[in-house]
C-alpha cells in the first residue's frame, strides 16, 4: 500500500480504495474521459512525476 501517499495533493476527482495488497486510485466515473492534468497529478503524488514523457524522448 502507498504509505506515503499525500492524499491532499490528489485532484478532487480522485477516489482512493484500499485493497488487500495495494491502493487503487480512480479518477472520476468515466475512465476514458480523464483529464491529462489529473493523471499527471496522480503520477506526481505517486512518485512517478519525474518520468512523465521520458518514454517518448528515449532518456
Indicate whether 56 belongs to any domain: no
Closest-CA residue to 23 (of 43, 2, 44) = 2
Cell reading at 13: 476527482
pLDDT of residue 51: 55
pLDDT of residue 53: 54
Q: How far is CA 33 from CA 11, 37, 47, in A?
A: 15, 12, 23
- The total of structural domains in the chain comes to 1
Indicate whether 57 belongs to any domain: no
Indicate whether 23 belongs to any domain: yes
Burial classification of residue 38, based on how many CB atoms lie within 10 Å of its CB (0-12 exposed, 13-18 middle, 19 or more buried):
middle
Q: What range defines the domain where residue 23 resides?
A: 1-45
Indicate whether 54 belongs to any domain: no
pLDDT of residue 55: 54
CA 11 and chain centroid, separation: 9
* Predicted confidence (pLDDT) per residue in 1-54, tens digit: 455 678 888 999 999 999 999 889 999 888 889 999 999 889 888 887 665 555
Amino acid at each position: 500500500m502507498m504509505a506515503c501517499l499525500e492524499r491532499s495533493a490528489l485532484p478532487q476527482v480522485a477516489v482512493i480504495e484500499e485493497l488487500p495488497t495495494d491502493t487503487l486510485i480512480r479518477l472520476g466515473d468515466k475512465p476514458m474521459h480523464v483529464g491529462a492534468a489529473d493523471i499527471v497529478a496522480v503520477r506526481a503524488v505517486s512518485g512517478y512525476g519525474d518520468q512523465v514523457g521520458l518514454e517518448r524522448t528515449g532518456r
